[in-house]
Structure 1
Amino acid sequence: MREDFLHFLWQFKKFDLARLQTTKGEKLTIVSSGLYLQKAGPDFFNAQIIIGTQKWAGNVEIHCRSSDWYLHSHETNPNYDNVILHVVWEHDTEVFRKDNTELAVLELSNYVPKKMLENYQSLMLDKTWLFCEKQIASVDGFVLDNWKERLFFERLEKKSLLIWKTFSETLNDWEALLFCLLAKNFGLNSNGETFLKIALSIPFQKIRKESFEVRNLEALFYGRAGLLDNENEDVYFLDLKERWDYLRHKHLLKKIYLDPVQFFRLRPSNFPTIRLSQLANLYHSRPGLFSEVIESKSLAEFYKLFNVSASDYWSDHYQFDRQSRKKEKKLTNVFIDLLLINTVVPLKFAHAAYLGNDISEEIVQLLREISAEKNIIIDKFQDFGITVNNAYETQALLQLKNEYCNKKRCLECGIGMELMKS
């Protein structure tokens, strides 16, 4: 038996309320279950109950066994002095408060319907990847859609945490914030953190000043990334190196220590050389990028906005002084989709919240225009009968798997709760 199941039973009163008695045989009536705190201290705050003819107001603590009260040392903790009822699955010992008064106990196992217990055991015990993998496809579509919406905005709120942290680091400059977030996502998983540190290390006003010349931006990015530290006879490389030496002195850029950018196990199109050039060309061609991002709404507008390529040199190179077959290194729609999902949408959401505006419908509509992401998690949900149509739904399912399924929070999940009621 798990305590989260007992919390679920108490919070939603999923037991026989008509014949409740304490373990001493006194009639028990629940007026209010209290507030589910989910933090240190008693489990439910400000509950109201009637024991016999006496009405009580206070807190409720829940355990699998009565003896857990002593196992957790609650008898010496003043936070538990105002507990008025101890709710347990199994009553194995009498419990006393710090002042030696006996605590009223409700033994829930006597009042939970057999079907409810079977539903819980079916949900929690039969699993290869999801606890509910055999039942999830049977959940009512209306319930599932409502829960997906909640999950989507939960994930958006989580992504906003990085935004607000970076916002303070950029001295509340929205243009600088966008630049830093884009840099992180241009670096993907392998180089994202390094790209973010590079972006944070160059004051954005310097980016504005140098954006008229794309090679100046490239020199700043490659120089900061340590990609110009080697000796090389390539004319393009030598030009960038000379520009970097000039620009770092001009802008008084202090030396920083970064992890080396990674090439290993990356597709050539994701090499840091290519992504940094694309980022430089983006800011060269779109000096007012933040305003355009905020004003754009449709997927077509964003594809046009991010329609940039790496510089001509990279059309037949992936690394300095190593020629390859000629191919334009343009941002693909798939990569732009990733930028929208991980940078643009969270930023637009945070900016609207900052101004006190609600653009939820606009954001959902945009994500519904973007193709569904493809990864092992989404493939698994589809194997279990969940239809996935767009990025709005994939983002919701990623939140479901990572924050609920993996953490066994089935009884806080809209799907799990629906299955418990069935």
Structure 2
Amino acid sequence: MNEKLLQYLWNFKIFTHFNFRDTDGNAIEILDFGKWNTDSGPDFLMAKIKTKSLILAGNIELHVKSSDWIFHQHAKDPNYQNIILHVVFQNDIDIAELKNLNIPTLELKDHIDKNIFQKYENLLKENQFIPCEKVFSAAKIPVNFHEENLLKKLEEKSLEIEADLHRHKNNYEAVMFHYLAYSFGLKVNASIFKQIAESIDFSIINKIRQNKLQLEALFFGISGWLENPQDSQMKIWKREFDFIKAKYNISEIKIHPKFLRLRPPNFPTIRLSQLAELYFQHQNLFSKIISAESTTKLIEIFKDINASEYWNNHFNFGKTSSINQPKIVTKDFIELIILNAVLPVKYTYHKYQNENINDEILKFYSEIQPEKNSVITEWKKLDVKIKNSLESQSLIYHFKNYCETKNCLNCGIGFKILKES
């Protein structure tokens, strides 16, 4: 038994019976178990009990042993002045100060199914894909599980986006550019691409976006790739970058993307060229994204984006490839951009103005195919049917925030498992 598990059982009222009596034998009726407090102070707030024909309202403190009241020095803490009940798993000693204040102590060890302890210990010690793998079934996934997970994930991402908006003077177009760059970088270069985007004043992008050559030159120059031109096209990009750098007083900072562990079509050279093409091709990109009312409309924005002609037979600078074909963005890549950048920014933009945004954004996710990665593969091995990205995004989020951290007490699936007799 630990205090976190005890709080969990109290919050969800998982007891074998509710014929509660205090340590002096007086009946206690719990009229309101209180609100679980995850901050400092008593564990449950605004509770209500009935004992000795009196109704008491206030806070409840839980401990594994009653002596923890002394060890935690609650008597000296003014936050614990409004305690109406001390709930413990084991009453190892009587607390004189609580007795003097007529605050009852409720011992729970005879009200809890002993199997729960073993189940909880088993969950914590398992080293499988998910802690509950041996007892898991898709039937244990609660109703609205995926919707709730995805909205939690979106809200967390939205807070990050709002922090970026604050740093960039509430410029949504600039922040959209940063998150699109992040997505174009994929896992290896995501943070590096975002750093490149944030190092450029977005007003410069707006001033040169009608010139794709200059956009590419800007991205390649900041990446440090144009210092030693190896062919005529590189010399042109260098000339343009030197001109832009001088005209807009761009700093000498160099941010170096990585090539290691990437397939050639995902090389940062190709992806930055495609990002330049996106901003060249759509002069009002932000408004198109924000006003799009379906996933189909969003996909149309990205579907004709190619790297510039130089990259037809190149993957890196100055090295001609035997493969000669346009470097297009695939549908799978477009959907990743929509999932990781477009929809979180779109949600953030609309959430204070559109009361229906939750339903609308969930619909976007439900219209996109599920991702293919190692986490989703493992869920499928457990016979979880994954129909769309709403469900795959939910399962990825759940694995990272609950299963990987063994946060079973806050998991809807864990709740069902622990509550089963």
> Which TM bucket (shorter chain)?
over 0.9
What is the rounded CA distance, in whole Å, between the counterparts of 1:271 and 1:233 in structure 2?
A: 18
Corresponding residue for residue 406 of structure 2: 408
- Contact map agreement 2:366 2:389 (CA 8 A) in 1: yes
Contact 1:210 1:217 in 2 (8 A): yes
Contact 1:170–1:200 at 8 Å: present in 2 too?
A: no
Gaps of 5+ in 1: none
Partner amino acid for 1:205? Answer: S
Measured after TM superposition, the shift of residue 125 of structure 1 is: 5.8
Choose from 235, 238, 243 the match for 2:235.
Answer: 238
**Could you tell me which of 273, 281, 286 is aligned with 2:282?**
286
Deviates more, 1:98-107 or 1:321-330: 98-107
| TM superposition shift of 1:286 | 0.5
Q: Assess if the C-alpha contact under 8 Å between 2:222 and 2:254 holds in 1.
A: no
1:242 Cα deviation (Å)? 0.9
Q: CA deviation at 1:102?
A: 6.9
Q: Residue 17 of structure 1 contacts residue 29 of structure 1 at CA under 8 Å; is this kept in 2?
A: no
Name 2:191's counterpart in structure 1.
193
Cα gap change, 1:96/1:333 in structure 2, threshold over 3 Å: closer, same or farther? farther
| Secondary structure at 2:59 match in 1 | strand
Find 1:251's aligned residue among 248, 252, 259.
248
Matched, 1:9 2:6: no
More displaced stretch, 245-254 vs 69-78: 69-78
1:336: how far off?
0.7
Superimposed CA distance per residue, residues 311-364 of structure 1 (whole angstroms, 9 cap, x where no aligned partner): 000111111101112132111111111101101111111111132442233322
Cα shift readout 1:199-243 (whole Å, capped 9, x = no counterpart): 1222222111111110100111111222223x1231111111111
Q: How much does 1:150 deviate?
A: 0.6
2:173 to 169, 175, 190: 175
CA distance in 2, matches of 1:96, 1:342: 57
Describe the shift of the 1:18–1:179 C-alpha distance in structure 2 as closer, same or farther (beyond 3 A). closer
RMSD, aligned CA: 2.3
Aligned-partner Cα distance in 2 for 1:19–1:90:
17
Map Cα deviations across residues 240-290 of structure 1 (whole Å, 9 max, x no partner).
1111111011112233364x2111122111211111110001100011111
2:149 corresponds, among 148, 151, 154, to 151
Task: State the shift of 1:302 in Å.
Answer: 2.5
Which range moves more in the overlay, 160-169 or 293-302? Answer: 293-302
Which digits, 9 at most, give the CA deviation of each residue in 1:48-93, with x for residues without a partner?
1123233322211112222222333323322222222221212212
- For the residues of structure 2 that align with 1:406 and 1:75, how far apart are their CA atoms? 37
What secondary structure does 1:144 align onto?
Answer: coil
Asked if 2 retains the 8 angstrom alpha-carbon contact of 1:147 and 1:415, the reply is no
TM-score calculated relative to the size of structure 1:
0.92
For residue 375 of structure 2, what is the amino acid of its counterpart? I
Shift of 1:115: 6.1
Query: Structure 2 length normalisation: TM-score?
Result: 0.92
Does the Cα contact within 8 Å between 1:139 and 1:418 map onto a contact in 2? no
Counterpart of 2:199 in structure 1: which amino acid? S
* Residues 2-401 of structure 1 mapped to structure 2, 5 A cutoff: 2-15=2-15, 18-97=18-97, 101=101, 103-113=103-113, 120=120, 128-137=128-137, 139=139, 144-229=142-227, 231-256=228-253, 258=255, 260-307=256-303, 308-325=305-322, 326-401=324-399
- Local SS of the residue matching 1:355: coil
Contact 1:75 1:98 (8 Å CA) reproduced: no
Q: Distance in 1 between matches of 2:238 and 2:97?
A: 73
Gaps of 5+ in 2: none
1:294 aligned partner, one-letter code: I
With 215-224 and 97-106 compared, the bigger mean Cα shift is at 97-106
Cα distance in 1, alignment partners of residues 15 and 299 from structure 2: 54
Aligned residues of 1:90 and 1:109 also touching (Cα < 8 A): yes
CA distance in 2, matches of 1:144, 1:35: 22
Deviation of 1:144 after TM superposition, in Å, equals: 2.9
Aligned length: 418
Task: Indicate conservation of the 8 Å contact 1:95/1:103, yes or no.
Answer: no
Q: Tell me the percent identity.
A: 36
Map of 1:420 onto structure 2: 418
- Alignment partners' CA distance in 2, 1:408 and 1:74: 29
What do the CA deviations read for 1:110-165 (whole angstroms, capped 9, x no partner)?
1224565666566556662323223331535xx63411111111111111122112
Residue 11 of structure 1, CA deviation: 1.7
On the 8 A contact 2:18/2:111 being kept in 1, the answer is no
Q: CA deviation at 1:101?
A: 4.5
- d(CA) in 2 for partners of 1:243, 1:178: 25
